[in-house]
Amino acid sequence: MRVAVVGAGIAGLTAAWELGRRGHEVVVLDGADHIGGKLLSGHVGGVQLDLGAESVLARRPEAVGLIEAVGLADQLQHPVTTRAGVWTRGAIRPLPPTVLGVPSDLEALAASGIVDDVRAESVPVPDQDVSVGEFVTARAGREVLQRLVEPLLGGVYAGHADALSLRAAAPQLLALGDDPVTAAVAARAAASDAPVAPVFAGLVGGVGTLPQAVADRSGAEVRTGSTVRLVERSGDGWRLLTGPVGDVEEVRADAVVVATPAPATARLLAEVAPDAAFALAGLDYASVALVTIVLAEHFELAGSGFLVPPVDDRFVKAATFSSTKWAWVADSGRTVLRASVGRAGESRALQLGDGELVDRVLANLAEAVGRLPRPADTHVQRWGGALPQYEVGHLDRVATVRSSVASARGLEVCGAAYDGVGIAAVVAGAQAAVTRLLDELGD
Ligand SMILES: Cc1cc2nc3c(=O)[nH]c(=O)nc-3n(C[C@H](O)[C@H](O)[C@H](O)COP(=O)(O)OP(=O)(O)OC[C@H]3O[C@@H](n4cnc5c(N)ncnc54)[C@H](O)[C@@H]3O)c2cc1C
């Protein structure tokens, strides 16, 4: 069978890999001039670094499994430290143990000085979806929401707790039940003292090196500069139009996997799965920028970085001390930091020029960690349409998309728009899409 995959982000490449290893012929088409989507590595100040995503969840098997399957097991590294802080109330304060911001150690929380007022109310969880903000405020109080849950959730979605869906964006909070603080504290107390496996993993050279390894091992034909403009039925199979306007090329396939962000997927499915297209057109994205700073001289930094509660209204949303967090970055001998800027609905910061963005980030960092030595080099990576916002009702939206796509034989969708934005979830989603496709086509 010949399959066309639209999008060479980690979703599309995983789909290509899964199809290729089962002996199918695959062509992957991506509009950008590079593969990998939000996984991108590049050089700043002579150091190879991640300019997009930087780690994978190692607690679930899919991403690490893919890394091993494509021959990069020996490049896997766990962070040297995951000790993060919260920059609030005039200092970087140690982030106490939490379940996605819901405190599980009240003594550590009190010692951190991050929050004064914690409640532990029992309020029945409603059957219908609610926002993370509504759930947490009613049970743990507004301060826990604003100074712990918001910054942690913001680190994943760059979104707002009052809009994000409890069921889709924070199922681990839903699992804590009616009284999440008491449940989180009890779960931590019951946990054994046995050393726990590392939660995250990265790759020497960056997780941005993963896409090329997957592409190389997949056996697929991978084309960049190939924006797909049309997907339509053609007899028993499919016809795609790709390439620059004026030089459009036709690609034919028996099946199609569309692995693009929701706005592009909505356009491509408009004719073949209109209900899915309509549902996807309503999915909002947050745009963010990552500012990477390589210092000219060594600067001592403690911990893996810090998060910033949006209520404090700082320019920087979070900072990672890359050379403290990753041994492979420390090996470069350089002090490297990266800061993220921008949240859902707040794109003003991203309209600044690179120079001003860097200056404002450096000013924030100086306040947080002290005056830094001069940068040897800086880099601004803008990610427009970076992170889908799983707002209240997201699971219904996804169900609509799935049932509409299922009515078009030989069509599948995957990517960060559906079942989780993290790399591991995206890899799992792509694997599931391939399984559904092959089941449907009897292959
Ligand atoms: C700044 C940032 C940091 C992140 N950090 C982490 C992290 O540390 N850990 C983690 O687990 N997750 C992280 N994430 C989330 C994760 O990286 C993404 O959710 C995931 O990589 C998305 O993969 P994808 O394949 O679904 O989409 P994308 O990576 O967006 O890939 C989609 C591809 O489709 C292509 N495309 C779009 N339209 C068309 C078209 N019409 N025709 C052809 N091609 C098209 C694009 O060029 C792109 O290559 C981060 C995300 C961002 C933005």
Q: Are residues 230 and 312 in the same domain?
A: no
Pocket test for ligand 1, best of 29, 287, 423 (most atoms within 8 A of CB): 423
Q: Are residues 329 and 349 in the same domain?
A: yes
**DSSP summary character for residue 434:** H
For residue 417, give the ligand 1 atom closest to its CA: 26
Residue 265 has pLDDT above 80, yes or no: yes
Residue 194 has pLDDT above 80, yes or no: no
Distance CA(439)–CA(418), nearest Å, equals 20
Q: Are residues 365 and 417 in the same domain?
A: no
24-75: pLDDT as tens digits: 999 999 999 999 999 999 999 999 999 999 999 999 999 999 999 999 999 9
C-beta separation of 79 from 330 below 8 A: no
- Domain assignment present for 62: no
Q: Are residues 424 and 382 in the same domain?
A: no
Residue 348 has pLDDT above 90, yes or no: no
Residue type, 86: V
Q: How many domains does the chain have?
A: 3
pLDDT of residue 443: 74
Q: Are residues 290 and 421 in the same domain?
A: no
Pocket test for ligand 1, best of 10, 27, 29, 38 (most atoms within 8 A of CB): 38
- Domain assignment present for 118: yes
Q: Which of 388, 403, 432 is the last residue of a domain?
A: 388
Q: Are residues 397 and 384 in the same domain?
A: no
Ligand 1 centroid–CA 338 distance in Å is 19
Ligand 1 centroid–CA 37 distance in Å is 4
Report whether residue 243 contacts ligand 1, using a CB cutoff of 6 Å: no
Kindly tell me the burial class for residue 62, based on how many C-beta atoms sit within 10 Å of its own C-beta (0-12, 13-18, 19 or more).
Answer: buried
131-189: pLDDT as tens digits: 999 999 999 999 999 999 999 999 889 999 999 999 999 999 999 999 999 999 999 98
pLDDT of residue 427: 98
Q: Which of 368, 388, 408 is the last residue of a domain?
A: 388
C-beta separation of 147 from 115 below 8 A: yes
Stretch 340-368: mean pLDDT, rounded?
Answer: 93
Ligand 1 centroid–CA 374 distance in Å is 32
pLDDT band at 347 (very low <50, low <70, confident <90, very high): confident
- Domain assignment present for 59: no
Q: Are residues 297 and 156 in the same domain?
A: no
Ligand 1 centroid–CA 38 distance in Å is 4
100-134: pLDDT as tens digits: 999 999 999 999 999 998 999 999 999 999 999 99
Structure tokens, 317: 């949303």
Report whether residue 341 contacts ligand 1, using a CB cutoff of 6 Å: no
Report whether residue 6 contacts ligand 1, using a CB cutoff of 6 Å: yes
Q: Are residues 408 and 418 in the same domain?
A: yes
Ligand 1 centroid–CA 339 distance in Å is 19
pLDDT band at 349 (very low <50, low <70, confident <90, very high): confident
Which domain covers residue 403, as residue numbers? 2-33+210-283+390-441
Stretch 395-418: mean pLDDT, rounded?
Answer: 98
Ligand 1 centroid–CA 62 distance in Å is 17
- Domain assignment present for 202: no
User: Within 51-160, where are the H helices?
Assistant: 61-69, 106-112, 132-140, 142-144, 150-157
- Domain assignment present for 42: no
**Domain of residue 423, CATH code:** 3.50.50.60
282-334: pLDDT as tens digits: 999 999 999 999 999 999 999 999 999 999 999 999 999 999 999 999 999 99
**Domain of residue 293, CATH code:** 3.90.660.20
Residue partners of 380: CB distance under 8 A and separation at least 6: 289, 290, 291, 292, 354, 357, 358
Residue 442 has pLDDT above 90, yes or no: no
For residue 388, give the ligand 1 atom closest to its CA: 19
Residue nearest to atom 51 of ligand 1 (CA): 53
Mean pLDDT of the chain: 96
At residue 208, what are phi and psi to the nearest 5 degrees? -65, -10
Residue 387 has pLDDT above 80, yes or no: yes
Q: Are residues 246 and 362 in the same domain?
A: no
Q: Are residues 275 and 289 in the same domain?
A: no
pLDDT band at 382 (very low <50, low <70, confident <90, very high): very high
- Domain assignment present for 426: yes
pLDDT band at 243 (very low <50, low <70, confident <90, very high): confident
Q: Which of 361, 388, 415 is the last residue of a domain?
A: 388
Residue 245 has pLDDT above 80, yes or no: no
- Domain assignment present for 356: yes
Residue 192 has pLDDT above 90, yes or no: no
Ligand 1 centroid–CA 10 distance in Å is 7
Report whether residue 398 contacts ligand 1, using a CB cutoff of 6 Å: no
**Domain of residue 114, CATH code:** 1.10.3110.10
- Domain assignment present for 196: no
pLDDT of residue 242: 95
Q: Are residues 6 and 127 in the same domain?
A: no
pLDDT of residue 193: 73
Q: Are residues 275 and 146 in the same domain?
A: no
**HSE (side-chain half, CA atoms, 13 Å) at 269:** 33
For residue 13, give the ligand 1 atom closest to its CA: 25
Residue 244 has pLDDT above 90, yes or no: no
DSSP string, 150-189: HHHHHHHHS--TTTBBHHHH-HHHHTT-SSHHHHHHHHHH
